[in-house]
Amino acid sequence: MKVTELPIFHEISQGQKKSFLTGENFKSQDVLGVHQMVKDDTVYYIFRVWAPQALEVFLVGDFNNWQDTELMSKDEETGIWEITTNTPQQMDLYKYHITQLNGRKIMKIDPFAKKFEQRPGTAAVVYTETEKKWKDGLWRGRNKRIKHDKRPLNIYEVHASSFKHHSNGEPYGFKELKDDLIPYLIKMNYTHVEFMPLMEHPLDQSWGYQLTGYFALCSYYGTPEDLQDFVEECHLNNIGVIVDWVPGHFCVNDDALAYYDGTPQFEYTEEDRAKNVRWGSINFDLGKPEVQSFLISSILYWVEHFHIDGIRVDAVSSMIYRNYDDGPSTLNHEGGTSNLEGCHFLKKLNAVMKHKHPEVLMIAEESSSETKITGSIEDSLGFDYKWNMGWMNDILRFYEMDPYFRKDNFNLMTFSFMYMLDERFILPLSHDEVVHGKKSLMHKMWGDRYKQFAQLRNLYTYLMTHPGKKLLFMGSEFGQFLEWKFNESLEWADLEDEMNQKMQFFTSELNQLYKESSSLWELEDSSQTIEIIDADNRDETVLSFIRQGKKKKDFLVVVLNMTPIERTDFQISVPFEGTYTEIWNTEMKEYGGTWESHNIDCETFNNGGESEHIIKTIVPALGVIILKPTEIKMTRKK
């Protein structure tokens, strides 16, 4: 039954509708989608959908046997179709039956739906959110007071549906992840968990990166309330939650956003710009105001409704360069390859976020160096962090290499020092590096099984001691040998092996060392954060450097041996006279190595140079040692 009288609740002004069209409505889910209201003790629902070129729109669903009985009316000024009705009930399924501009009739999803039916169905659900009474005020208050760049940030990257499975093969939802994943994050000493996209998507093979529902938790993972409870429990245990989000392109499925009213509505008008050849998807027209309202509303909804602490924006390169894709491209009106609309959108997105939620981390997955990504809106795109893909590619290439050739390629280990302050970086050892035949991190390592574990410990220690925030993909922490499979659980059976158990323990202890060592994160935005001792020891292939905290005495000496040859009587130049104690050795027996005890304390001596302070110690084969000053005189070497 269609209601002709305007309801007294949930009234939306024409100005709110128009602000969606101008790109300035950042709560457009309050205007569009489905909303419940009560009048005269009767429950009504109002449905609104933006389809400016559609000829006719019907609301169809369980409540009318999917028949064209609920005709929606169009606001010609805004292109928004609307109906108020008491026919649907909570949890009914629905879609919009649209007659497109060319006369074609098609069932379309609600772009603003907050819940969808479980696959393989794609219908939206008539769903009213409940107001949660959050208990995470202490966490959120601390996040606002203490800047993120002055804290440790160590991220455990998770694909929610392949972390663990039930015995029947069904993946864990957020109810189970709350009971299982959160204690694991605590045990492993991570500061944050990052989920690959959680928004509604129809195909597991996309890993969530081809979305259909930008306001809906994927029904695969449970209810929105389940995710809220999970985030709250993380916060109560001092763990932040980051979610991947995909504003550059969307799923090509015909019943979703693609050519919604029969015209390029969400996508670019030019076919070569709309079509994303590389990923088989469709690119958003980021210059269109309505798309800006849609996308910025989406990200703010996730931050505000689920208390998300950070957003990793996927595929930024594809949004800021017109020639990034594999297909044909055209130049912009200035004759360049920059996607000017994409750059403007990202600046606007970050400006809005920093105005409303400055404590929320904005992270770019971006692989080029032509555009400044992090920093102020005036000087960059305005992100807080950028994934350091160059470091990741160089480092993995180096660790896969036979040590015989490493001395001739030592620059792969050290080149990142040249540009480490150009951006605020996160060092990612992510899902992308352990799939599609690339092999797991463990399997990439050179040599036999013992040497592979030794080098994995070496690699993770370098990750933790190199300037930049940290990210490691699930399963890598215990040295899973098989590469990641999106449709299977992690190889938890590996932990029946003693070496994998010790690798897991090693990662947990290393994460704790990172959290406790302010010198590893306190000055990361400054060149003072690191002092290179020796980056030119190619013959022995040993890299040594100092990580410095705010206090002069707060520093660590890091020495990495990249060959299977133990370096005895190895001399290291240190800044102050005194005693240095080894606090970390990757070859300790409890970590899977062979060393029963640490190196003895080192006393400085002078090797003939004026005021030169030298210590001598043993650096294990394929191992890393970290030394800390214990008793030093604050007379610095000249």
Are 183 and 176 in contact, with CB atoms under 8 Å apart?
Answer: no
DSSP string, 435-468: STTS--HHHHS-SSHHHHHHHHHHHHHHHHHSSS
Torsions phi, psi for 284 (to 5 deg): -65, 145
Considering only CA atoms, which of 270, 276, 309 is closest in space to residue 209?
276
Torsions phi, psi for 496 (to 5 deg): -75, -15
What are the DSSP E strand ranges found in 467-607?
469-473, 530-534, 542-548, 555-561, 567-574, 576-585, 602-603
543 dihedral zone (left: phi>0; alpha: psi -120 to 50; beta): beta
451 burial level (CB within 10 Å; 0-12, 13-18, 19+): middle
Considering only CA atoms, which of 475, 597, 575 is closest in space to residue 528?
575
CA distance 334 to 193: 41
Considering only CA atoms, which of 3, 96, 88 is closest in space to residue 49?
96
Considering only CA atoms, which of 452, 477, 427 is closest in space to residue 622?
452
What are the DSSP E strand ranges found in 309-351?
310-313
With b for 16 or more beta-carbon neighbours within 10 A and e for fewer, the 78-103 pattern comes to bbbbbbbbebbeeebbbbbbbbbbee
Task: Give the bridge partners for 426, in sequence order.
Answer: 387, 469
CA distance 113 to 130: 15
DSSP 314: -
The distance of Cα 610 from the centroid of its chain, to the nearest Å, equals: 49
Task: Give the bridge partners for 387, in sequence order.
Answer: 426
CA distance 544 to 625: 10
Query: Distance of CA 254 to CAs 108, 160, 260, Å?
Result: 8, 26, 8
DSSP string, 37-51: EEETTEEEEEEEEE-
- The residues that are catalytic are 314, 365
